[in-house]
Amino acid sequence: MTVLQFLEGPMFYAAFAIFAVGAIWRVAGIVRLGRKPDLAPPKGSAAAGWFKGNLRHFVPRGLFAERTWMHLLGGYAFHLGLFVLLVFAAPHIAFFERFTGLSWTALPRWGFILAAEFAFAGLIVLWVRRFSDPVMRQISDRDDHAGSWLTFLVMLTGCLALEEAHDALRALHMGLVNLWLIYFPFSRLMHAFTFALARGATGAVYGRKGMNP
């Protein structure tokens, strides 16, 4: 078994299992804490508020967008770029097909480059802001930096491996992907799942009050 075969085979299975079990465990651990029923007579629907809260916070309120435009641009560029790369990059689709037999249309090369540029630019903006802004320096911890660096390296090695010309580059990418998957459930990267819980909790409370969260 070559290093690449190990990283794409047993190591990937193990990393993905840790990712999946860890993420489910963490979300279940939050939900399991429960909450007391709200006895105040509602003015609106908590369930509708849960969904509204989740949707509403995808879009910034105009008043605040003026003050936080740098973070907004960086955040949107990074997250949208990363999503496109993850789901529509041809090697990712091929990799997914190997395990599930499912396939879909991949991005053309120029689309990949564009998405990658958005994702890199966004991540760099967010990272520069994290170490240069006094507020960000105050509130950031090791996890914030580790998550950013790891994601950056996964993206960088992914671009290097795009041509699939060298097994070593592909192995480097897969090794970092595995590390990223293992790190994920123990880190703040979990916000990819917990955002819905937080937005939903606030949305439900506001919804009961008949407010738009």
Partner 1 sequence: MTDAALTTLLDQMDADIASYLEACVHCGECAEACHFYLATKDPKYTPTWKLQPLVRAYRRHKAPLRGIRGMFGLLPPEVTEDDLRDWEELVYDSCTMCGRCTLVCPMGIDIAGTIRKMREAYAAADIAPDGLKQARENVEKTSSPMGVTAKALLAQVRHQEEETGLKIPVDREGADYMAIFSSHEIMASPEIIGAYARIFDRAGLSWTISTKAYEATNVGVQIGSAPLAKKLVRRVVDEAERLGVKYVVSPECGHAYGAIRWAGPNLLGRSFGFEVIHIIELLDRLRAEGKLPVGDKDGRRMTLHDPCQIVRRGGLLKEPRNLLEGACSNFVEMKGAGIANLCCGGGGGVSANPRAEELMIAAFGEKLKQIDEIGGIEAVVVPCANCRGVFEDGLFEHDRDEDLEVISLGQLVADRLAGDAPPKPSE
Q: Does residue 139 bind partner 1 (CB under 8 A)?
A: yes
| 8 A C-beta contact, residue 213 and residue 53 | yes
> Does position 45 bind partner 1 by CB under 8 A?
no
Q: Is 36 in the site for partner 1 (CB under 8 A)?
A: yes
Under rule CB under 8 A, residue 144 binds partner 1: yes
Instruction: Tell me how far, at minimum, the Cβ of 34 lies from partner 1, in Å.
Output: 6
Asked if residues 53 and 204 have their Cβ atoms less than 8 Å apart, the reply is yes
Print the binding letters for residues 167-186 with partner 1: x by CB under 8 A, - otherwise: ------------------xx
Is residue 81 close enough to count as binding partner 1 by CB under 8 A? no
Residue 132 binds partner 1, judged by CB under 8 A: no
Binding positions for partner 1, 97-116, rule CB under 8 A = none
Q: Which of 3, 4, 6, 60 binds partner 1 (CB under 8 A)?
A: 60
Q: If binding is defined by CB under 8 A, does position 83 make contact with partner 1?
A: no
Q: What Cα–Cα distance (Å) separates residue 146 from each residue in 22, 67, 99? A: 18, 27, 29
The correct pick among 2, 5, 103, 212 for binding partner 1 (CB under 8 A) is 212
- Candidates 5, 20, 64, 164; binder of partner 1 (CB under 8 A) is 64
203 binds partner 1 (CB under 8 A): yes
Where on the chain is the footprint of partner 1 (CB under 8 A)? 22, 25-26, 28-36, 38-41, 43, 53-54, 56-57, 60-61, 63-64, 67-68, 71, 75, 129-130, 133-141, 144, 185-186, 188, 190-191, 194-195, 197-203, 205, 209-213
